[in-house]
Structure 1
Amino acid sequence: MVGKVIVVGVSGGIAAFKTVSLCSALVKAGAEVHVIMTESAVKFVTPLTFQSIVKNPVIIDIFSEPNPAEISHIALADKADLMVIAPATANIIGKVANGIADDMLTTTVLATKAPVLFAPAMNVNMYANPAVQRNLRTLREFGYRIMEPNEGLLACGWQGKGRLPEPEELFEVISQMVQVKRDLEGVSLLVTAGATREPIDPVRYMTNRSTGKMGYAIAEAAATRGASVTLISGTNRLPVPPGVTFVPVQSALEMYEAVMERLPEQDVIVKAAAVADYRPKEVYDQKLKKRDGILTVEFVRNPDIAFEVGKRKRPGQILVGFAAETEHIEEYARNKLLKKNADMIVANDVSQADAGFAVDTNRVIFVFRDSPTKRLPLLSKLEVAHAIIDEIVRLRAERK
């Protein structure tokens, strides 16, 4: 953090008191911190509180220019390595999503080219409101990063999602964002993610519990570190990471075709999707009606995409596979490494509540051909994604 310039925007919410601790932690870590407060924010915490901690003037009024040699909002926008809006109210989210710049904070956000992190905090019903969710999707599409609020007892008395993350959690994300490396510049990386759907009839299909969170985190991490990323994804509802080329598919056959078509120009292929091993032999044109007795559906094997990639990959291409297991994790992962001709397998026990499908954390094992196995502790999926990228960078360096 030493030497990094972080602009902290504080909007009018009761959670503003947590931002005081965040600023203190950033200053102690060596960052140069500047605080911008909205007029509503000063109703909750005084500017003097922040100024005493960051040792820089706190700016509220856009027309107040303490230094006549510069325009404050442009100067801060230019010098910022990162902007953080915490708490980010529904109002500030809506303004930025719609390009409204009517105060110091919104004007600076729209003027900066630095990464911007929004940390929403509000009543659970406000957060779930379709207008707020639409605005958050817009911010993600613009390339801003959103840190999801925590769940718990809110100041208004409601219980649910809407609490500002703790200062320690915010600090960790900020630390990752300002220290990110650009070590994949010029690298083409393909990621598969999510579950495939294998149709039975027009209204039924077979699928699995994968949500795509791990694959999307890898796509986000790789793009952040400079790669040209193609994300081939089965069905899910996750926002596409900024700067990523998105290819939606449904079935395993569609994913197979999409991967094979793009394989020759890729430097790295990460197979994080949960692809169905089988599909119904016959897909009915009309809905199957209920009948007496047992319904038998015959299945046939789908193409093994990872196996085909391993067979066709050219010298220098890196293949990373995933092994979602419930027993004999490392043994099965090593077998998969050899069978698929992969360079690395990321294995995890999906029977664990905190490391399986549909959660934001993972506990994985890295299995390699010529290097010792690595076991990672419980981490966020984005942290796991960056750890995977670290290994990909190492493997590419060894090949060179």
Structure 2
Amino acid sequence: MNILITAGGTSEKIDNVRTITNSSTGKLGSAIALAFAETYTQPTDRIYYLCGQNAVIPEADRISIIRIGSVNDLMEKLTGILTTERIDAVIHSMAVSDYTVDTLTTKSSIASSIADFISQNGPSAALEPETLTAQLIEKAFSGTDTLGSENKISSDIEDIVIVMKKTPKVIGMIKKLQPAALLVGFKLLSNVSPETLIDTGYNLLLKNNCDLVLANDLSGINELGHRGFLISPDKTYETFETKSQIAKGIVKRVHAILNNQ
């Protein structure tokens, strides 16, 4: 049996020394990897552990550690494995960045671009306010002198404007690359009702053809516990109170589903 686990967080580059990342530690992903490793008895069993640069590393036989940085890096590594290896289950617990850096500029560059636009186009009173605003914004962020990200941005710059763009939804590509793989998705929200959390997790399951989804709320995660709801396709769910319980619960359900196929 081959399992692929993603854990930790991605990091999006600002320049060659600075990144934008999140606070995911990979502790839950590591616990899941170790729980799977404890159940393995065959020499051919293997766990691929794709993790962020600062994620916790599980130490056990047959766990292959693969470090990734950005979302693009994750997609490349994930695609490589799913198109060359048979994977029985994917546990996608990684906190993937929703945005990546698109443009780096400054307030003064934006102001200069807008001034140039107005100067070149003359009075624009005939334009609808929304149209004029859209044109000004487009000019501001497409005609400015961007700072680039290949070198370290000077700390002498007084202000930096970072424009970000959406990243692809990695979970949506998994079943497309390997339809037969069992998929466990994860959903994290903050300070919502249990009903909202379950509904949101279930919607993620339906949208991405997941077999299970672990829904958790940031307010229920601390050093002593980790509350999570493991949601099934019929919207029933199991409740867990610690990372260890979640890890063992996921392993138990994954094995049960795969053994019934």
Please tell me the TM-score bracket, short chain as reference: 0.7 to 0.9
Could you tell me which residue of structure 1 aligns to residue 157 of structure 2?
Answer: 291
**Aligned equivalents of 2:55 and 2:6: distance in 1?**
15
1:212-271 per-position Cα deviation (integer Å, ceiling 9, x unaligned): 000011111111111411101111253432111111111111111111111141110000
1:345 and 2:213 correspond: yes
User: Whole-Å Cα distance in 1 between the matches of residues 250 and 48 of structure 2?
Assistant: 17
Aligned residue number for residue 256 of structure 1: 75
Amino acid at match of 1:228: R
Which of structures 1 and 2 has the larger relative contact order (alpha carbons within 8 angstroms, sep 6+)? 2
2:160 aligns to what SS in structure 1? Answer: coil
How many angstroms does 1:348 deviate by?
0.4
Q: Relative to 1, partners in 2 of residues 1:246 and 1:385: Cα closer, same or farther, differing over 3 Å?
A: same
Q: Are positions 1:266 and 2:87 aligned together?
A: yes
When normalised by structure 1's length, the TM-score is 0.49
Return closer, same or farther for 1:312/1:258 CA change in 2, 3 Å cut-off: same
Tell me whether 1:207 sits opposite 2:21 in the alignment: yes
8 Å CA contact retained: 2:189, 2:217? yes
Structure 1: distance between partners of 2:97 and 2:224: 23
Q: Which structure 2 residues correspond to residues 217-232 of structure 1 after superposition, within 5 A?
A: 217-226=31-40, 227-232=45-50
Q: Report the secondary structure of 2:185's partner residue.
A: strand
Structure 1 residue aligned with 2:11:
197
Q: 2:215 is matched by which residue type in structure 1? A: A
Task: Extract unaligned runs of 5+ from structure 1.
Answer: 1-186
* 1:5-34 Cα shifts (integer Å, max 9, x gaps): xxxxxxxxxxxxxxxxxxxxxxxxxxxxxx
Number of aligned positions between the proteins: 205
Q: Secondary structure at the match of 2:183?
A: strand
8 Å contact from structure 2 (residues 221, 227) kept in 1: no
Aligned alpha-carbon RMSD (Å)? 1.8
Q: 1:237 to 1:341 in 2, by over 3 A?
A: closer
| Structure 1 residues 338 and 278: alpha-carbon distance in aligned structure 2, compared to 1, 3 A threshold | same
Match of 2:60 among 242, 246, 254: 242
C-alpha distance 225-360 of structure 1, shift in aligned 2 (>3 A):
farther
Preserved CA contact (<8 Å) 2:79 2:177: no
Query: In terms of mean alpha carbon deviation, does 205-214 or 219-228 score higher?
Result: 219-228
Distance 1:204 1:360, change over 3 A: farther
Deviation string for 1:260-312 (max 9, x for gaps)?
111141110000111111110145122223434x5321112222111111333
SS in 1 for 2:216: strand
> 3-state DSSP class of the match of 1:350?
strand
Change in 2 beyond 3 A, CA 1:285/1:371 = closer
Q: What letter matches 2:199 in structure 1?
A: E
> Among residues 250, 253, 261, which one is paired with 1:388 in the alignment?
250
Secondary structure class of the residue paired with 1:387: helix
Which residue is 1:366 aligned to? Answer: 230
Aligned to 1:314: 179
- Please state whether the residue corresponding to 2:213 is helix, strand or coil: strand
Structure 1 residues 30-73: Cα deviation after superposition (integer angstroms, max 9, x where no partner): xxxxxxxxxxxxxxxxxxxxxxxxxxxxxxxxxxxxxxxxxxxx
Whether the 8 Å CA contact 2:185–2:213 is kept in 1: the answer is yes
Q: How does 1:1-400 map to 2 (within 5 A)?
A: 187-226=1-40, 227-236=45-54, 238-243=56-61, 244-264=63-83, 265-282=86-103, 284-289=149-154, 290-292=156-158, 295-315=160-180, 317-326=181-190, 327=192, 328-354=196-222, 359=223, 361-370=225-234, 372-376=236-240, 378-379=241-242, 381-398=243-260, 400=261
